[in-house]
């Protein structure tokens, strides 16, 4: 086991621990990766199950709609199907997680370069990457939102790039849509301030390069995997912080075909060059803000190598409509950050806890602050303003409540607002706010605003990002056939159009869900352009 060798667990060690604690559900039944896999796991988020009942799902008998069988297992929910699973990966209790992050940030440990690595036990280059069943097409990458998504998409990624001037690497979690056996398209966020990978993209382009080296890592050791979704300061090397979490240096190895360092104990590494001249349509894809992200121009990547360990496991995130694995990862990390900011940085008295509303809103839109009874009004308003401005993409609606109000109970919140709030005196609005992460994006130039409420004692949109009804019903039948826990469906449990959807996207989603996503890649290849910016809107009805 890697723990004995390195001092920290790899993904296989982590799965063994989950299994020993009854947190891993192994599925040997044949499962279609394109139309059944994600919908099956989705049921534990929309089936009325308590969070504690959720598990990681390990699929060992994977097929596609055309009957192809895959010999690589896929695991979903292994990092954060619930808080307990997240805490296993962190090697601590849930209550200790924030202290672990604080210590790691204050005490980073640089990585250790090694020459012999598990992630390079099997190597594919050149002709081995070309053709059906080879390269990317040999990997059992699931469709995340069948009925809407146009391609299998890498979700549980640690995408590594490097600053061309400083040599400092960045590792972010970005979605990557498969387009051909040797090509995919990466969506690196262009949020306010810029994601680290996209800042590198801009720097390489400005320097006159034609391509940018990139490595997409699947199945990092948990301490490293947690770095991708975590929002660290720009310019901080995530390997150093991961070492701080582990208490020992993280082992890294030089990639085979690009000048980047990758985690030695990772499962699979996809190496390649991102095109700095052309952009290609990517998506639709069900996003973590709970709506389907429609087609945009994003970054094509030509694959130069795929390496993996013997008997690898591919991780995939459940994201889309919250609650999800993605929202659990963020919630466990963000809530203590908000509380520490209000209590320690701002010195506000009476704050008991901060809760980020999870179902449907996905943590970024609604913040509930719980106060002790009789907390002075000045402290309540300082906390409301403080939470609204703590993170640029959080805090559209901030509500103050007392300890008798369960922040996860919407009925209780409405009760507090109805009987403990005078709208004239207890409501403030803040203008000139950015849109943040959501179906309305900041690059459209549309402003947003913030609503603050003291409750101590509000056109067409992309579809709801859940698999469509037929796929969910199909997977529900499998769920019941497998004898899994009784479902308690809670609306909404399937995706449906909210107006902004085209027949062309229905057609591409059907091709993807029936194992024919490569046809979509051929279509989008013909639509590559060199006269647009990344994430420029693309509508096939306007072509």
Q: 327 vs 217, 335, 451, CA distance in Å?
A: 21, 11, 22
pLDDT at 132: 95
On whether the CB atoms of residues 318 and 325 are closer than 8 A, the answer is: yes
Residues of the chain with CATH 2.30.110.10: 2-321
Tens of pLDDT, residue by residue over 102-121, are 888 889 999 999 999 999 99
pLDDT at 403: 87
On whether the CB atoms of residues 328 and 322 are closer than 8 A, the answer is: no
Q: Please report the DSSP string for 35-99 in residue order.
A: TTHHHHHHHHHHSS--GGG--EEEE-SEE-TT--EESS-EEESTTTSSHHHHHHHHTS-GGGHHH
Under 8 Å CB-to-CB from 326, ≥6 apart: which residues?
A: 80, 229, 288, 317, 318, 319, 320
3-state SS record for 56-71: EEEECCEECCCCCEEC
Residues in the chain: 543
Three-state SS for 447?
Answer: coil
**CA angle (221 as vertex; 218, 227 as ends), nearest 5:** 80
**CA angle (248 as vertex; 246, 249 as ends), nearest 5:** 105
d(CA 234, CA 197): 10
Q: Please report the DSSP string for 234-247 in residue order.
A: TT--HHHHHHHHHT
CATH superfamily of 327-454: UbiD C-terminal domain-like (3.40.1670.10)
Whole-model pTM over 0.85: no
Nearest to 128 by CA among 267, 306, 266: 306
On whether the CB atoms of residues 399 and 369 are closer than 8 A, the answer is: yes
The secondary structure of residue 537, as a DSSP letter, is: B
* Top-level class of domain 2-321: mainly beta
Token pair 């062309």: residue? 504
Dihedral (Cα; 367, 371, 375, 378), 10-degree rounding: -10
Distance of CA 375 to the CA centre of its chain: 37
Q: What is the mean pLDDT of each run of 10 residues along the chain (543 residues)?
A: 80 97 97 97 90 95 96 96 93 87 90 97 98 97 96 96 94 95 91 76 96 98 86 78 95 98 98 98 87 93 98 93 77 81 92 85 81 93 91 81 86 87 94 63 67 79 84 95 88 77 94 96 95 92 77
Q: Please report the DSSP string for 274-343 in residue order.
A: EESS-BEEE--EE-TTSBEE--EEEEEEEEEEEEE-SS--EEE---SSSSSHHHHHHHHHHHHHHHHIII
pLDDT at 57: 98
pLDDT at 441: 56
Residues of the chain with CATH 3.40.1670.10: 327-454
Bridge partners, 281 (sequence order) = 297
pLDDT at 434: 60
pLDDT at 228: 72
Given phi > 0 = left and psi -120 to 50 = alpha, else beta, which region is 290? left
Which pair of tokens denotes residue 50?
Answer: 């308590």
């Amino acid at each position: 086991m890697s723990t004995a060798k390195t001092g920290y667990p790899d993904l296989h060690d982590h799965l063994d621990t989950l299994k020993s604690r009854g947190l891993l559900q192994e599925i040997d039944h044949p499962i279609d990766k394109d139309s059944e896999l994600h919908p099956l796991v989705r049921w534990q988020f929309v089936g009325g199950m308590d969070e504690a009942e959720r598990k990681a799902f390990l699929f060992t008998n994977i097929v596609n709609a055309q009957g192809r069988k895959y010999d690589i297992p896929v695991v979903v929910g292994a990092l954060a199907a619930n808080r307990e699973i997240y805490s296993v990966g962190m090697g601590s209790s849930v209550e200790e997680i924030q202290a672990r992050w604080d210590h790691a940030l204050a005490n980073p440990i640089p990585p250790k370069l090694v020459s012999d690595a598990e992630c390079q036990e099997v190597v594919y280059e050149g002709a081995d990457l070309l053709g059906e069943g080879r390269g990317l097409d040999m990997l059992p990458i699931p469709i995340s939102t069948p009925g809407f998504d146009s391609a299998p998409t890498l979700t549980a990624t640690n995408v590594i790039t490097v600053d061309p001037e400083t040599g400092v690497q960045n590792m972010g979690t970005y979605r990557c849509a498969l387009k051909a056996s040797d090509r995919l398209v990466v969506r690196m966020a262009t949020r306010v301030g810029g994601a680290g990978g996209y800042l590198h993209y801009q720097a390489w382009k400005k320097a006159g390069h034609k391509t940018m080296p990139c490595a997409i890592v699947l199945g990092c050791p948990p301490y490293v995997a947690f770095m991708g979704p975590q929002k660290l300061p720009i310019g901080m090397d995530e390997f150093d912080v991961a070492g701080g979490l582990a208490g020992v240096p993280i082992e890294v190895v030089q990639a085979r075909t690009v000048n980047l360092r990758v985690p030695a104990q990772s499962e699979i590494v996809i190496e390649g060059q991102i095109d700095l001249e052309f952009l290609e349509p990517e998506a639709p894809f069900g996003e973590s803000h709970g709506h389907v992200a429609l087609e945009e121009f994003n970054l094509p990547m030509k694959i130069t190598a795929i390496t993996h360990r013997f008997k690898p496991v591919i991780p995939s995130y459940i994201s889309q409509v919250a609650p999800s694995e993605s929202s659990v990862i963020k919630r466990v990390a963000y809530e203590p950050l908000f509380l520490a900011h209000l209590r320690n940085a701002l010195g506000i008295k009476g704050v008991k806890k901060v809760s980020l509303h999870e179902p449907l809103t996905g943590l970024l839109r609604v913040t509930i602050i719980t106060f002790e009874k009789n907390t002075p009004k000045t402290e309540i308003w300082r906390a409301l303003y403080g939470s609204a401005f703590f993170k640029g993409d959080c805090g559209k609606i901030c509500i103050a409540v007392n300890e008798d109000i369960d922040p996860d109970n919407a009925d209780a919140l409405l009760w507090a607002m109805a009987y403990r709030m005078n709208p004239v005196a207890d409501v403030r609005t803040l203008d000139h706010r950015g849109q943040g992460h959501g179906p309305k994006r900041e690059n459209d130039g549309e402003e947003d605003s913030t609503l603050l409420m003291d409750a101590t004692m509000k056109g067409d949109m992309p579809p709801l990002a859940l698999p469509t009804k037929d796929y969910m019903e199909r997977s529900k039948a499998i769920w019941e056939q497998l004898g899994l826990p009784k479902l308690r469906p809670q609306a909404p449990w399937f995706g449906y159009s909210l107006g902004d959807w085209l027949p062309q996207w229905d057609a591409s989603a059907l091709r993807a869900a029936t194992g024919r996503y490569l046809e979509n890649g051929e279509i989008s290849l013909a639509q590559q352009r060199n006269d647009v910016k990344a994430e420029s809107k693309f509508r096939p009805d306007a072509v």
